[in-house]
Amino acid sequence: MKTLSVLLRIELLKTAKRRAFWVAVGIFAAIQTISTVDGVRTAQRYPNMTFALPDSWPDILFGASGPALFFAAVVMILLFAPEFSWRTGRQNVIDGLSKERLYAAKVIVLAGLVLLFLATPIVIGVGGTLFSPSEGGPEIIRSTDLSFLGGSALNLLLFGSAALMLSALVRSAGPALGVLFLYVIIEQAIGELIARGSETIRGVTEYFPFNVAQDLGENLVHYPEALAAQNAFRAERGLPPLEFLDVKVLAIAALAYTAIFLVIAFLSMRKRDL
């Protein structure tokens, strides 16, 4: 418990003093605020458009599943990779932290970032509903909203753990960010190439890490009624229906990838010299 408190204290100090962290969080919060203000204004202008709970949860949680993904990954890399290039991680170990505890400290940072980038859109969005003229429903949150919330959290955890792993492997912020974004592009390109092949092989692409993350952050996966409406709309236009893996399968895949990324990062930290 004492170790945990020490790790938390040093990471809080490192993070709170880092200007890049506040800039990233500030930009993210600004985007969420603009989106919320837009929702409130629309509700004020057009009475048939609502901005109230629980109907607005998909809009509010979009912030936590879309842009948050990249912000969390970027901040994770900015808070971890420079520990190698500045050799401060090495100094932490010289000062008495083991390499394993240094790794544990960064897992704490990951957990903190998931909470932060999940909580920020919720706080701003829910705060916005207080200024909206729209009437809310009888319940504040539904099971589908909770599913989207969980999916967004797993989504952030998966992408954040990938960023943590790349920081530990690449050990430099710029190249780690480059590899992360390059991977996203490559995965999509491979997915499109494979999609031209057989149906069986095409199914495999659905389990690719970024695809799992994208699907978990897709509101249609969590709201069956919205998916049905969307597919009816597509059917009218002769388009094939949208299909997604089951939420539980996606959640298990996300947790499995997260575990794999964290184990790889741990082994890299333990085996490599600082």
Partner 1 sequence: MPIIQTHELTKRYGRRAAKSVLAVDQVSFAVEEGQVFGFLGPNGSGKTTTIGMLVGIINPTGGSFQLFGASDPKGLLAARSRVGATLETPNFYPYMSGRDNLRIAAAIKGVGRPRIEECLELVGLADRAKHRFATYSLGMKQRLALAATMLNDPELIILDEPANGLDPQGMREIREIIHILAGRGKTIFLSSHLLWEVERTCSHVAIVRKGRIVASGTVEEVVSGGTSVLLRAADEDALVAALEGYPEATSVRRSDDGVLVSLGSDDFAALNRYLAGQGIHLSHLAPHRQSLEDVFIDLTRGDFDSMTEIAS
Q: Which residues bind partner 1 (CB under 8 A)?
A: 6, 9-10, 13-14, 17-19, 86-88, 90-99, 271, 273-274
The full length of the chain comes to 274
8 A C-beta contact, residue 183 and residue 132: no
**Residue whose CB is less far from partner 1, 236 or 273:** 273
CB of 2 vs partner 1, minimal distance in Å: 8
- Taking the C-alpha atoms of residue 212 and residue 257, their distance in angstroms, rounded to an integer, is 9
CA-nearest of 149, 100, 116, 148 to 262 is 100
* Min CB(115)–partner 1 separation in Å: 22
At 137, is the secondary structure helix, strand, or coil? Answer: coil
Which one, 93 or 126, has the nearer CB to partner 1? 93
Nearer to partner 1, 17 or 248 (CB): 17
For residues 93 and 108, which CB has a smaller minimum distance to partner 1 in the complex?
A: 93
Degrees to nearest 5, angle at CA 36 with 49 and 78: 145
Report in angstroms how near the CB of residue 70 gets to partner 1 at its nearest.
23
The number of angstroms, rounded, from the C-alpha of 110 to the middle of its chain's C-alpha atoms is 11
CB 7, min distance to partner 1, A: 9
Q: How does DSSP assign 98-121, residue by residue?
A: -HHHHHHHHHHHHHHHHHHHHHHH
CB of 24 to partner 1, least distance (A): 14
| Vertex 59: Cα angle to 56 and 61 (nearest 5) | 105
Residue 142 has phi, psi (to 5 degrees) of -105, 170
Would you say 102 or 250 has its CB closer to partner 1? 102
Local structure of residue 73 (DSSP, 8 states): H
Q: Which is nearer to partner 1, 20 or 260 (CB)?
A: 20
Residue 92: CB minimum distance to partner 1, A: 6
Residues 261, 100, 160, 156: is their CA dihedral positive or negative?
positive
- Of 21 and 207, which CB lies nearer to partner 1 in the complex structure? 21
Q: Minimal distance in Å, beta carbon 9 to partner 1?
A: 5
